[in-house]
Amino acid sequence: MTYVGQSASAAQQPAAERATVKDVVAAYVGLTKPRVIELLLLTTVPVMFYAARGVPDLGLVVATVVGGTFSAGSASVFNCVYDRDIDEQMRRTRRRALPRHIVSPRAALVFGFVLGILSTVVLYVWVNPLSALLSVTAIAFYVFGYTMILKRRTTQNIVWGGIAGCFPTLIGWTAVTGSLSWIPVVLFMVVFFWTPPHTWALALRYREDYANVDVPMLPVVKPAAEVGRQIVIYSWVMVATSLLLWPVADTSLFYPVAAAVLGGVFLVQAHRMWGRTKGTENLAVIQPMQLFHTSNLYLSLLFVAVAIDPLLAR
């Protein structure tokens, strides 16, 4: 494989060793971490439904989604550039574009800045200045706060670094209302408390990778039983916070019932995983990915309930 824009000598390599156009396009898309973007948008659009107390303006939704996609993609690209040294050593990330040398760090950096500028322009012009400001803040916090400062220094990296992933709730609300209120703040906190159980379950599965590159994720420095205990604590706080939306936003009964059922399922899974950690560090026994997948489903369905609630109320 060769870097995009590499010197002429690289062009002399056999064609089979050079990246195809399809490879390059896929590499640039991969740098934006599409699966992360999907999850972030899933916490943006439902909030817009609730803010509009019904179906929001389609044009506004499109502009917010496009701007949000560019924003999240920009942050992910910068993360990939900064972390390319450890990504090359980790099983989970070694197939990314930079470790495989399909895209050069300089080209990726330019791509990240372009996406960031586009996201700001789209949100500022077609949504509103407040949403654009929140987007820029989220990018900056993810790049400087999490990636460059917290990730390689503290076990609390994902707790506080996860704040960046909470901003879509605020952006979705301000896109419709032009202002902030306690409703999006509650949803912001739901995502905040959801992030550690979600990420620690994944980090437990890949703890050897993180240990090999000296990233002090909680599962690297603490036994599995302690990780399970903290996951349970955060899970209980997350579920309790999700139920706060009922009195704060004066939802219909649909939302608290849905939140309670989904939260109950999540708590059962969290407690089961914690139980499996006692007396063993064997990942085949602990099965952390079960909780990881449950966490994705939980957040998705919870925010779908947020979108449906105002429609039922009408």
Question: Which architecture does CATH list for 181-314?
Answer: Up-down Bundle (1.20)
Q: Which of 78-87, 92-101, 236-245, 257-266 has the lowest mean pLDDT?
A: 92-101
Question: Which architecture does CATH list for 21-153?
Answer: Orthogonal Bundle (1.10)
pLDDT of residue 250: 93
Residue 80 confidence (pLDDT) above 60: yes
CATH 1.10.357.140 residue spans of the chain: 21-153
| Mean per-residue pLDDT, 12-23 | 59
Cβ contacts of 242 within 8 Å, gap of 6 or more: 190, 259, 263, 302
Model confidence at 313, pLDDT cuts 50, 70, 90, reads: confident
Residue 44 confidence (pLDDT) above 90: yes
Q: How far apart are the C-alpha atoms of 49 and 57, rounded to whole Å?
A: 9
pLDDT of residue 102: 92
Sign of CA dihedral 32, 37, 40, 41: positive
CB 219 within 8 A of CB 196: no
Which of 190, 122, 134, 187 has the alpha carbon at shortest distance from 164?
134
CB 37 within 8 A of CB 295: no
Q: How far apart are the C-alpha atoms of 277 and 26, rounded to whole Å?
A: 38
* pTM of the model as a whole: 0.92
CB 277 within 8 A of CB 227: yes
Express as a percent the part of the chain with pLDDT over 90.
89
DSSP for residue 143: I
Residue 89 confidence (pLDDT) above 70: yes
Task: Report which residue type is found at 312.
Answer: L
Cβ contacts of 252 within 8 Å, gap of 6 or more: 309, 312, 313
Task: Report which residue type is found at 187.
Answer: L
Express as a percent the part of the chain with pLDDT over 70.
94
pLDDT of residue 314: 67
CATH 1.20.120 residue spans of the chain: 181-314
- Residues 136-188 have pLDDT tens digits of 999 999 999 999 999 999 999 999 999 999 999 999 999 999 999 999 999 99
pLDDT of residue 11: 39
Q: What is the mean pLDDT of the chain?
A: 93
Residue 15 confidence (pLDDT) above 90: no
pLDDT of residue 23: 85
Residue 2 confidence (pLDDT) above 50: no
CA angle, 304 as apex, 40 and 287 as ends, to 5°? 70
Task: State the burial class of residue 217 (Cβ atoms within 10 Å of its Cβ: 0-12, 13-18, 19+).
Answer: buried
pLDDT of residue 92: 87
- Residues 246-287 have pLDDT tens digits of 999 999 999 999 999 999 999 999 999 999 999 999 999 999
CB atoms within 10 A of CB 11: 10
Q: How far is CA 113 from the centre of its chain?
A: 19
pLDDT of residue 19: 73
Model confidence at 4, pLDDT cuts 50, 70, 90, reads: very low
Q: How far apart are the C-alpha atoms of 217 and 152, rounded to whole Å?
A: 8
Which of 259, 199, 272 has the alpha carbon at shortest distance from 232?
272
DSSP for residue 66: H
Q: Which of 14-23, 29-38, 169-178 has the lowest mean pLDDT?
A: 14-23
Which of 168, 165, 204, 198 has the alpha carbon at shortest distance from 288?
204
